[in-house]
Amino acid sequence: MAQQKDRHSARERVYRFVRERLAAGRPPTVREVQEALGFRAVQSAREHLERLVAEGRLTKRAGEARGYRLPEPDAKPPAALVPVLGRVQAGALTTAVEDIEGYVPVQHKAGSEYFGLRVQGDSMTGAGILAGDIVIVRAQPSADSGAIVVALVEDEATVKRLRLRGQRIELHPENPAFSPITPEECRILGKVVEVRRFLEEGEV
């Protein structure tokens, strides 16, 4: 039996199946691998898995159900799917279920809450944030001066650069065609930690 790394070889198909299941957060049993590949014996699947472990492409917890894992990035923080909101209105951050466009995977910091917001308008193009981009926001009630934040002004969320003048809050655009805002009342919803742009239709 020639050993080949062809993407159609059983070994590669096993690896791909396991990897996809692990990426979906649903580690498979050996029997599920068996069925997925169409083997008649559990041991057939298991030998491939053991070989993948020997090659360093998988690791396993011996004796533990669904114990095969990917060896790589388990030093990374967990990735979670966070909702992307089309709009945020006053009081709605926890109830805007109907405004959820979809979800995107985000590596979050433990203990922090995140949401995504679709950027409207061109006020932040100078910072490379275009209309239609999605900003990933860590929910927090304050931020440092200079940070890009999502703030609630007159019941509508907006993405701006925060400038703190003593106790006064200014929200600056990054586009000379727009003027800074100095709202009487304003609530910081969170700090923008990431900007994403999908270049293909149909994503999120």
Partner DNA sequence: TTGCATACCAGACAAATGTCTGGTATCATA
Partner DNA sequence: TATGATACCAGACATTTGTCTGGTATGCAA
Given the residues 44, 123, 142, 191, the one annotated as active site: 123
Task: Report if residue 164 touches a second copy, rule: CB under 8 A.
Answer: no
CB neighbours of 95 closer than 8 A, spacing ≥ 6? none
Site for a second copy in 92-121 (CB under 8 A): 102-107, 110
Partner whose footprint covers residue 90, from DNA, a second copy, none (CB < 5 to 8 Å by kind)? none
Whose Cβ is closer to DNA: residue 45's or residue 84's?
45
Task: Report if residue 194 touches a second copy, rule: CB under 8 A.
Answer: yes
CB neighbours of 202 closer than 8 A, spacing ≥ 6? none
Whose Cβ is closer to DNA: residue 11's or residue 118's?
11
What's the closest the beta carbon of residue 155 comes to a second copy, in angstroms? 25
Among 80, 90, 91, 155, which residue sits at the site for a second copy (rule: CB under 8 A)?
Answer: 80
14 phi and psi, to 5 degrees? -60, -50
Cα 104 to Cα 116: distance, rounded to the nearest angstrom: 8
Cα 60 to Cα 90: distance, rounded to the nearest angstrom: 48
Could you tell me which stretch among 34-42, 52-60, 171-179, 192-200 binds a second copy (CB under 8 A)? 192-200
* Helix/strand/coil for 40: coil
Cα 127 to Cα 41: distance, rounded to the nearest angstrom: 58
Partner whose footprint covers residue 163, from DNA, a second copy, none (CB < 5 to 8 Å by kind)? none
What's the closest the beta carbon of residue 86 comes to a second copy, in angstroms? 17
The tokens of 93 are what? 């951050």
* Helix/strand/coil for 126: helix
Site for a second copy in 24-43 (CB under 8 A): 24-27, 29
The tokens of 197 are what? 């742009």
Residues belonging to the active site: 123, 160
